[in-house]
Amino acid sequence: MSATAEVAALPAARRPALAIARHAASILVGQLAVIGFAVADAVMVGRHDSVDLAALSIGAAVYVSVYIGVTGVVQALIPIVGHHHGARDQDGVRRSFQQGVWLALMLALLGFALLQWPQPLLDLTQAEPAVLERARAYLGWLAWALWPALLFRVYSSFNLGLSRPWFVTALQLGALLLKVALNAWLIGGGLGVPALGVVGCAVATLLIQLALVATGGLMLARHAAYRSLQLFSPWSRPHGPTLRELLRLGIPAGASVFFEVTGFTLMAIFIARQGTTALAAHQIAVSLGSVIYMLPLSIGIATGALAAQALGAANAGLARRICVQGLALALCCALLLGLVLGFGRESVASLYSRDAAVLALAAPLLLLVAAMQLLDATQCVVSFALRAYRVAVLPAIAYALGLWGIGIGGGRWLAANPPPGWPAMLSGPGAFWFMNIVALAAVCAVLVPLLQRVSRRARD
């Protein structure tokens, strides 16, 4: 196949925005299914027992912090596989997949140790002994679930790099239905199984992750779409250069995600000191913000994968157009969602609570969430686009200094020392959200010029 034909065969060669939208739509459905896992756990455990719900809150926070960090490293497969796929380098695609499996197993060992012995982290919560005991049991089961979860993340990242998101989404949707059914059985007990409470959520997750890995592995071995790649034959041992390539991109990329996610965890810890009402209002804002964020996240993943394919095909001009149109698409969606949330904030908040004090505090927070949408969409899409160019260290530093330094540090200072005449909506929890907007602006001020520079350099 000629170079021109190879470029024309890329999904985004003719209409980048359409290709991004098509792939992002599939990814979005899968991301919402993943969120459904957490929603199902919280709702079903909450109806079972309040102590189990408290244990779930603590255990899930610990698990997510570990899981996000290690899966962020594995996601380096998306641009690397995409680059090899765009270059029609089947050996490179197969090698990256196999080494991704080895990397996932190594990272799972680290995560397993943290989840099996979480006592230092649990002690920080100062929760009741009964809550900590159940949280510890919950994490013990999730430690075993982490192994298949990371292997499935390899399957997911591999397919996203190949622009086959529906393969992943179909499995995630099926897993969500199975999750609800298993939760209903294991949490409350039945058919000879005692009521397991919060531990039942973890057992259900383990069973589902095993099913996902088995199904994904069977598809990779038997499905016609992968036949030409010969992914399992021959199987190679750990390969230092390929693992280093994955780690060079994966460690800073994983760090970026870690700083982003734990920034909100730290925000919740400090806002909790302002009282139950402030924390409840903040939780409403986080819940809505997390759901809305799935859209720019999906667009960012699609943009990064397609840009990597274009770079692999030695078409830097197409890669730049993909990045520009992906960002434009994300900004249009963010503007629309921001306007809807801004004007409907009171009605939306009332879906979460009937407490007048909570609603009075949540409404201005949702206005801040609406205001940050353009910045949040920008940093998300640009960060994934930069990974297509193998740039991740500087973004990680920007996230650390911005989201932890300006966002959390500045939020703590502003909440404790509001200037004279400072608006009430920007005080209390609003101080943290306002400084988070400032932090996102600072991150965007670093990442956008960086993307412009590296994409121009690649094109020249």
Whether the pLDDT of residue 5 is over 70: the answer is: no
Phi/psi for 455 (5° steps) reads: -70, -35
Q: Provide the greatest CA pair distance for the chain.
A: 69
Q: What is the mean pLDDT of residues 349-365?
A: 81
Task: Select from 308, 320, 388 the least CA-distant residue to 11.
Answer: 308
Q: What is residue 157's predicted lDDT score, i.e. its pLDDT?
A: 93
Rounded Cα gap, residues 421 and 270, in angstroms: 23
- The pLDDT of 352-377, averaged and rounded, is 86
The rounded distance, in Å, linking the Cα atoms of 412 and 398 is 19
Quote the CA–CA distance of 259 and 439 in Å, as a whole number. Answer: 12
The residue assigned the tokens 């009937």 is 354
The SS3 call for residue 105 is helix
Average pLDDT over residues 394-420: 92
Closest CA to 120 of 54, 201, 62: 62
Alpha helices in 49-128 (DSSP H): 50-74, 77-86, 90-116, 119-123
204 pLDDT band, cuts 50/70/90, is very high
Q: Each residue of 330-352: b (16+ CB within 10 Å) or e? A: bbebbeebbeebeeebeebbeeb
**Tens of pLDDT, residues 444-457:** 999 999 999 999 99
Separation CA 445–CA 458 (nearest Å): 21
Question: Which of 16-20, 50-54, 116-120, 138-142 has the least mean pLDDT?
Answer: 50-54
pLDDT for 312: 92
CA–CA dist 16, 18 (Å, integer): 5
Could you tell me which residue, 171 or 288, shows the higher pLDDT?
A: 171
Given a cut of 80, whether residue 314 has pLDDT beyond it is: yes
Q: Phi and psi at residue 422, in whole multiples of 5°?
A: -65, 135
Predicted pLDDT at 125: 60
Residue 105 has pLDDT above 60, yes or no: yes
Judged by average pLDDT, the poorest of 199-203, 254-258, 277-281, 329-333 is 277-281
**pLDDT over 80 at 46, yes or no:** no
Average pLDDT of the chain, as a whole number: 87
pLDDT at 33 over 70: yes
Helix (H) or strand (E) holding 294: helix 276-312
End-to-end CA distance of the chain: 25
DSSP 359: H
Pull the structure tokens for residue 272.
Answer: 């909790």
Neighbouring residues of 192: CB distance < 8 A, sequence distance ≥ 6: none
The amino acid sitting at 116 is Q
Residue 428: pLDDT band with limits 50, 70, 90:
confident
Pick from 288, 252, 282, 287: nearest CA to 400: 252
Return the ∠ at Cα 249 (arms to 164 and 300), rounded to 5°. 45
Read off the pLDDT of each residue in 222-241 and give the average, rounded to a whole number.
88
Q: Please tell me the pTM assigned to this model.
A: 0.87
Confidence band for 277, pLDDT divided at 50, 70 and 90 = confident
C-beta separation of 25 from 298 below 8 A:
yes
Backbone angles phi, psi at 10, to 5 degrees: -65, 145
Q: Give me 180's structure tokens.
A: 């609800």
Phi first, then psi, for residue 48 (nearest 5°) are -85, -50
Return the pLDDT at 6: 45
> Which pLDDT value is given to residue 339?
93
For the cut 80, the answer to whether the pLDDT of residue 138 exceeds it is yes
Q: In angstroms, rounded to a whole number, what is the distance separating the alpha carbons of residues 108 and 130?
A: 28
Answer yes or no: are the C-beta atoms of 62 and 246 closer than 8 Å.
Answer: no
Angle of helix 198-222 versus helix 16-48 axis, rounded to 10: 150
Query: Taking residues 77-95, what's their average pLDDT?
Result: 92
Q: Is the pLDDT of residue 367 over 70?
A: yes
**Residues 16-43: what's their mean pLDDT?**
86
Cis peptide before 11 (omega within 30 of 0): no
**Looking up tokens 């030695």, which residue turns up?**
314
- Local structure of residue 10 (DSSP, 8 states): S
Q: Which residue would you say has higher pLDDT here, 380 or 351? A: 380
pLDDT (mean) for 379-408? 94
Tens digits of residue pLDDT in 8-25: 456 666 688 888 999 999
Is the pLDDT at 7 greater than 50? The verdict is no
Say which range, 179-183, 213-217, 281-285, has the weakest mean pLDDT.
Answer: 281-285
Tokens 């599939």 correspond to 26
* Residue tagged 């909570």 (tokens): 358
Q: How far, in Å, CA of 33 to CA of 27, rounded? A: 10
**SS3 for 193?**
strand
Helical packing angle, 16-48 and 276-312, nearest 10°: 150
Q: Which residues pair with 190 in a beta bridge?
A: 193
Asked if 399 contacts 260 with a C-beta cutoff of 8 angstroms, the reply is yes
Beta bridge partners of 193: 190
pLDDT confidence of 3, banded at 50, 70, 90? very low
